[in-house]
Amino acid sequence: MAFSLYERQFLGLHGLLPPTFMTIEQQAYRVMSKLRQQPNDLAKYIQMDSLQDVNEKLFYRVICDNVKELMRIVYTPTVGLACQKYGFIYRNPKGLYITIHDNSVSKIYQILSNWPHKDIQAIVVTDGERILGLGDLGAYGMGIPVGKLALYVALAGLHPGQCLPVLLDVGTDNKTVIESNEFHVLLNDPFYIGLRRKRTRGEEYDRLVDNFMKACTKRFGRDTLIQFEDFGNLNAYRLLDKYKDAYCMFNDDIQEEIAADSNYIGTAAVVVAGLLTTMRVTKKKLCEQRILFFGAGGANTGVAEMCIRQMVEEGMSEAEACEKIFMFDIDGLITKSRVPTLLPRHKRFAKDLPDTKDLYEVVKMVQPHALIGASTKGGAFTKEIIQEMAKNNDRPIIFALSNPTKNSECTAEQAFRLTNGKVLFASGSPFENVEINGKIYKPGQGNNAYIFPGISLGCVLFKAKHIPDKLFLLAARRVAASVSEKSLFKYCRLYPRLKNIREISVQIAMEVGNYLYHHNLATLHPEPDDMEMYIRMNVYSTDYTDVINRPYEWPPQDSKHGFPVPLLERMSMEDE
């Protein structure tokens, strides 16, 4: 109902639409009013999915205006439930399906050519083997690249017509999707939309991925951004190592080090951003702090590695930086006596300290400035541990990153109350505000949505050759710098407000652009004179534009007949 009267008459729509005219703001109000009456999150997901089919611009406008409320609907955690029921709620096709039977460059190229949009700049691809914490969902995993690209558009401003979700269907080995009151078998599910066969592995699988990468660059260009999403752990690491220097690609599950079981919403880059924010309060560089990690899985190991890179840039050697990092895993503090049984990535964090499995004893012994939990052990940060942190530090840093809420090492309420508001707290799960003695504390939630949209925007606009790990640290610094003085010092919030996330993405894209040109990794030439203006001119607008070009008038003297027609005289009778 946003068509003007002129557009309705010109396009033959007059009378086919109700005789009212609405702005996009009025339409967004109608959408949100209906959405808030839906009985559950899955129903909200289905409504938004239907809206994307019929009015893409309104879909993104609604998300942009309600980021905090809707990000959890269009992506995690609701997208996980939607993927489990993807066949049942399937309505209209979104994205491309490339199967193991299409295993050649020419066949995949033809499939890519069938996509109606030709100027593709960003691709998110999955093989459905490790969808969030749900395991192998096969073709039901298409909801992940669809949702991820929706965030690309809403949070960074990539053009939706330049985004392509892809699912590589090589079968599935996981026969169970939901184990509840009724037993559900995926391969026998009548609604399953993928190949009903066991997952292909080995050489044939590798050849499919290789052919896919070649076909994408042949069809859309070598500077097309390709993000690998929710591949199985073994394939994810192997494929990243194989392609990261040859293509413009990344896998935020690895380069931002989400834990293997996807129970952590915090990623390395966004966690380090929170730590960098605390430096504005503590007045201490990261290299001056001891950091104790509770949990030594992929999440905390990734954070530790990025902390080391930051410390090195602050003037430390890598060996000195490792001395600042303490790791506590399922067997207790990682010490030198355990080196023979440690994984290679943990050995350099081993300390010459007594063995212990008591976290409280470790906190008393190490006296860390920061305690970071990514263990999924709910309540692990006990009253004694939190109070010991407050005893040893004027402003203790406690990050409880495990997700969902029941797995959080402590709640925001516990952290703030037990330290009398001294704590600098962040979490992986959302927590309500805490009020102590009339002061409101607003706990920050680490979310990788602060990081990857801006990096993707910069790499797309400046046509990166490949994506170096340093970009994630630059993005973390920019996120930390974006926290306002009011948010930090009045409310103790360590992350920017989600409603500002598009602006943060623009700032990250500027950092990316400067780095790419400085290191000869950008292929867009010449370099824009005004990088910020170039970015803002190219971000997707959620405002309606005229469907029909408006006619314009010439000056009256030039839009009339050129001259008066004279009366011609008859020359002879033959003219009769």
User: Averaged over 115-141, what is the pLDDT?
Assistant: 92
Burial environment of residue 550 by CB neighbours within 10 A (0 to 12, 13 to 18, 19 or more):
exposed
Could you report the per-residue pLDDT of 162-199, keeping only the tens digit for each? 999 999 999 998 765 455 544 446 788 899 999 999 99
- Does residue 314 contact residue 285 with C-beta atoms inside 8 Å? yes
- Per-residue pLDDT of 493-537, as tens digits, reads 999 999 999 999 999 999 999 999 999 999 999 999 999 999 999
In terms of DSSP H, where are the helices of 294-451?
Answer: 298-313, 318-323, 344-347, 359-366, 383-392, 412-418
Residue 230 annotated as binding? yes
Instruction: Find out whether 500 is annotated in a ligand binding site.
Output: no
CATH class of 266-446: alpha beta
- Please report the pLDDT score of residue 414 as a whole number: 97
Question: Which candidate in 60, 75, 243, 515 is catalytic?
Answer: 75
- For the CA atoms of 463, 254, 272, 431, the dihedral, rounded to the nearest 10 degrees, stands at 110
**87-256 CATH choice from 3.20.20.370, 3.40.50.10380, 3.90.550.10, 3.40.50.720:** 3.40.50.10380
Cis peptide before 93 (omega within 30 of 0): no
71 CB-near residues (< 8 Å, 6+ apart): 63, 151, 155, 447, 449, 498
Do residues 230 and 126 touch, judged by C-beta distance below 8 A?
A: yes
Helix (H) or strand (E) holding 441, with range, is strand 439-441
* 114 known member of a binding site: no
- Residue 402 pLDDT grade (very low, low, confident, very high; cuts 50, 70, 90): confident
Going by C-beta distance under 8 Å and a sequence separation of 6 or more, which residues neighbour residue 61? 24, 28, 542, 543
Q: What is the pTM of this model?
A: 0.87
Task: Report the C-alpha gap between 335 and 353 in whole angstroms.
Answer: 6
Lookup: tokens for 365: 């012994």
- Whether 258 and 148 have beta carbons less than 8 Å apart is answered as no
Query: How far apart, in whole angstroms, are the C-alpha atoms of residue 130 and residue 337?
Result: 35
Distance CA 575, CA 441 (A): 99
User: Residue 40, Cβ neighbours under 10 Å: how many?
Assistant: 10
Please give the pLDDT value at position 514: 97
428: pLDDT confidence band, cut at 50, 70 and 90? Answer: confident
Q: Hey, do 87-256 and 266-446 end up sharing a CATH topology, with the first three levels equal?
A: yes
Please say if 45 is a catalytic residue. Answer: no
Q: Which pLDDT tens digit goes with each residue over 245-299?
A: 899 988 766 554 433 333 333 378 999 999 999 999 999 999 999 999 999 987 8
- Percent of the chain past pLDDT 90, that is, above it, reads 77
**Least confident stretch, 260-264, 313-317, 398-402:** 260-264
Domains of the chain, residue spans = 1-74, 87-256, 266-446, 451-538
Please compute the mean of the pLDDT values over residues 458-462 and round it to a whole number. 97
Torsion-angle region of 126 (φ positive above 0: left; ψ -120 to 50: alpha; else: beta): beta
- Using CA atoms, how far apart are residues 383 and 419, in angstroms rounded to an integer? 10
In this predicted structure, which of 41-45, 53-57, 231-235, 329-333 has the lowest mean pLDDT? 231-235
Looking at 3.30.360.10, 3.40.50.10380, 3.30.300.30, 3.40.50.970, the CATH number of the domain 451-538 comes to: 3.40.50.10380
CATH architecture of the domain covering 1-74:
Up-down Bundle (1.20)
Query: Sorting pLDDT into bands at 50, 70 and 90, what band is 118?
Result: very high
Separation CA 357–CA 355 (nearest Å): 7
Tell me what the mean pLDDT of segment 210-215 comes to.
98
Q: Is 447 annotated as a binding residue?
A: yes
Q: Is the pLDDT of residue 340 over 90?
A: yes
Task: Please tell me which residue in 148, 244, 324, 463 is annotated as part of the active site.
Answer: 148
* Residue 130 marked as a ligand binder: yes
Is 75 tagged catalytic? yes
pLDDT for the residue numbered 447: 85
